[in-house]
Amino acid sequence: MWKFALLVLQNLGRNPLRTTLTVLGTMVLVAVVTLVWSILDFLDKQTAEKSNNLKAIITERWRAPSQMPYSYVRGLSEAGATEPDDFRPLDSMTWAFYGGTIDPKNRTRENSVFAFCMEPEKLLTMMDELDEMQGEPKAEFAATVEKLKQNRRGIIVGRELLANLNKRVGERMVLYGFNYKDINLEVEIVGLFPDSRYNKSSAINIEYLLSALDSYKREHNGTPHPLAANPVNIVWLRVPDMAGYQRASDQILNSPSFSNPAVKIETLASGVGAFLESFRDIIFGMRFLLAPAIIATLALVISNAIGISVRERQMEFAVMKVLGFRPNQLLGLVLVESLLVGTLAGFASAALTYFITNDYFGGINIQIAFFSKFYIPQAALWWGPLMGVGTALAGSFLPAWTARSVKVSDVFAKVA
């Protein structure tokens, strides 16, 4: 087997320019498919229903954005349980969205802050990705969360946001609210989110927002802020399984406590899926038109390069047959040449795409629904070679069959 390896390598080296161009073409196309598949893979995971340890989201039924009274929080956090035998969720989390800017006269994307106002300890147990951290990163973030608990005016920010704001950990700043008009929060940066999808986000203790709303009422002769009655946007529940989710759903929807305004409950996957419904055509196009078209193009690129090479080497294949090479050995040699190019270029492309996208660019910055950043998953490291293998096989089979079928007497007759 190995004795033929050098033969394969020398054949690939026969026309370095063509081989290089084929490798580069393969790498570019594999990189594009990897990027597309990474986005689709992330969205698939977000919309895939889990059978256990799943999250449910509760929002206002009829309005978007959802606005619920804070008085709902306690009851919803217990999934509306009132009796000892009622179902109770494993965990819960409350979100109120706060948007503010550090420069109200010249508000830009860079100087704006989007904050989850929430219970600090839930950052560790309920936030997607963060709730899966283990070991040292978890311990480090737990210390940051502890600071947020100790400092009611604290804020945890994402790394990209910190850089955009041109601030450092420990600095203070005033956020001038734009959804909570006239609610300005003086916050101190107590720490950073781990490098994650929250790089542009921030988290504030919800108690601080509520006390700011109270202060507003005091400062305005008892007139409450327009949003004070309904500051809660989403309540999250963690339930053990689908049966638990169903019981939580029944309890909440049948409870008179959550009827004005009415609420709705859905699994996280279902909620995300519903949100992505407006992106259905784009996602369909990416999945069933763009990616297959690129893969077909990739197979054609390989087919073209190998086809030209085989045509140029008809005489050599004839001579090899004369020397005793069997038809299937010639087929194998051509396929291996192609597979080598496809596999190595596919792996190199996937690895480069993975490291450049994730480590250099910090993810793919594209806004789809409420997802603004996508990372290349580790699985892409085998997508690349697999794509290379698949397209190399598809693209080179016909040329390889041509090499296999070379008729010695015909080739020599042409020479004579």
Partner 1 sequence: MPADSALVRVSGIHKFFTRGSERVDVLQNLSLEVPAAQFLGLMGPSGSGKTTLLNLIAGLDSPSEGEIWVGDQEISRMSEAQLARWRTRSVGFVFQFYHLMSVLSAYRNVELPLLLLPLSAAERKRQVLTALEIVGLADRIHHKPGQLSGGQQQRVGIARAIVTDPTLIVADEPTGDLDAKSAEEILDLLQELRTSLGKTIIMVTHDPRAASRADRVLHLDKGRLVNETRAEV
- Contact yes or no for 160/154 (Cβ under 8 A): no
**Among residues 23, 206, 228, 320, which is the contact residue for partner 1, using CB under 8 A?**
320
Q: Which is nearer to partner 1, 11 or 201 (CB)?
A: 11
| DSSP SS3 for 368 | strand
409 binds partner 1 (CB under 8 A): yes
Residue 17 is a binding residue for partner 1 (CB under 8 A) = no
Stretch that binds partner 1, among 163-171, 222-230, 298-306, 326-334 (CB under 8 A): 326-334
| Binding-site member from 121, 146, 207, 316 for partner 1 (CB under 8 A) | 316
* Among 114, 279, 325, 401, interactor with partner 1 by CB under 8 A: 325
Residue number, 99 or 327, with CB nearest to partner 1: 327
Out of 3, 105, 109, 218, point to the residue binding partner 1 (CB under 8 A).
3
Helix (H, G, I), strand (E, B) or coil at 121: coil
Binding of partner 1 by 315 (CB under 8 A): yes
Which region, judged by CB under 8 A, interacts with partner 1, from 101-109, 110-118, 128-136, 318-326? 318-326
Least distance in Å: CB of 404 to partner 1? 11
Stretch that binds partner 1, among 111-119, 128-136, 211-219, 406-414 (CB under 8 A): 406-414
Among residues 50, 19, 67, the alpha carbon closest in space to that of 306 is found at 19
16: contact with partner 1 by CB under 8 A: no
Q: What are the tokens at 381?
A: 């490291």
- Residue (29 or 406) nearer to partner 1, CB: 406
Contact between 190 and 151 under an 8 Å Cβ cutoff? The reply is yes
Long-range contacts of 225-231 (CB under 8 A, 24+ apart): 225/180, 225/182, 225/183, 226/181, 227/67, 227/179, 227/180, 229/69, 230/60, 230/67, 230/68, 230/69, 230/261, 231/67, 231/69, 231/70, 231/96, 231/117
Which residue, 13 or 256, is less far from partner 1 as judged by CB?
A: 13
Burial class (CB in 10 A: 0-12, 13-18, 19+), 159: middle
Q: Quick one: CA torsion of 99, 272, 75, 210, rounded to 10 degrees?
A: 0
CB of 407 to partner 1, least distance (A): 9
Is position 408 an interface residue for partner 1 (rule: CB under 8 A)? yes
Cis amide bond preceding 65, omega within 30: yes
The residue from 326, 359, 405, 414 that contacts partner 1 (CB under 8 A) is 326
For residues 110 and 256, what is the distance between their CA atoms, to the nearest angstrom?
44
The two tokens of residue 12 are 């690939």
Q: Which two tokens stand for residue 52?
A: 């256990």
- 276: how many CB neighbours lie within 10 A of its CB? 18
Least Å distance, CB 10 to partner 1, is: 5
Give the residue from 45, 35, 39 showing the smallest Cα distance to 357.
35
Choose between 359 and 410: whose C-beta lies nearer to partner 1: 410
Kindly state whether residue 24 participates in binding partner 1, applying the rule CB under 8 A.
no
Q: Does 64 bind partner 1 (CB under 8 A)?
A: no
Integer Cα distance of 299 and 284 in angstroms? 22
Selected from 64, 168, 323, 367, the binder of partner 1 by CB under 8 A is: 323
Indicate the residue among 186 and 410 with the shorter CB distance to partner 1: 410
Q: Nearer to partner 1 by C-beta: 122 or 313?
A: 313
The residues that touch partner 1, with contacts defined as CB under 8 A, are: 3-4, 6-7, 10-11, 13-14, 315-316, 319-327, 329, 408-409, 412, 415-416
